[in-house]
């Protein structure tokens, strides 16, 4: 029963499949800076899922910076929004 509740909680938001490379930077549990690359699987209102060859570098609740690698697109700046998300900088703002 607890597993069913946990599974339902993880699905509070619809998931949208995305196929982008991601660059991830952060600090390990020992405080050492790291940089990683992976492949995004999907995104939802509660986060995103990506594949990496270094899953042992990550832990629940860890803060990381994730950038999407979009070949063929213009580069863009991002800004922080309340709540910690980011979005492309609006040049008209």
How confident is the model at residue 71, as a pLDDT?
A: 72
88 pLDDT higher than 60? no
Element (H, E) at 6: helix 2-10
Q: Which of 20-24, 72-76, 85-89 has the highest mean pLDDT?
A: 20-24
Strand 64-69, strand 33-44: pairing: unpaired
* Percent of the chain topping pLDDT 90: 29
Mean pLDDT is lowest, of 4-13, 39-48, 54-63, 77-86, for 77-86
How confident is the model at residue 80, as a pLDDT?
A: 45
68 pLDDT higher than 80? yes
Q: Per-domain residue ranges for the chain? A: 15-88
Q: Is the dihedral of CA 55, 56, 61, 62 positive or negative?
A: negative
pTM of the predicted model as reported, rounded to 2 decimal places: 0.61
Residue 48, C-beta contacts closer than 8 angstroms, at least 6 positions apart: 18, 40, 41, 42, 66
């Amino acid at each position: 029963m607890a597993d069913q509740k946990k599974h339902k909680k993880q699905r509070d938001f619809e998931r949208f499949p995305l196929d982008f490379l991601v660059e991830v930077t952060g600090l390990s549990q020992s405080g050492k800076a790291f940089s990683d690359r992976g492949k995004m699987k999907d995104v939802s209102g509660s986060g995103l899922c990506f594949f990496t060859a270094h899953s042992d570098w990550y832990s629940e609740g860890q803060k990381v910076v994730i950038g999407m690698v979009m070949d063929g697109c213009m580069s863009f700046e991002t800004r922080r929004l309340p709540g910690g998300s980011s979005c492309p900088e609006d040049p008209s703002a």
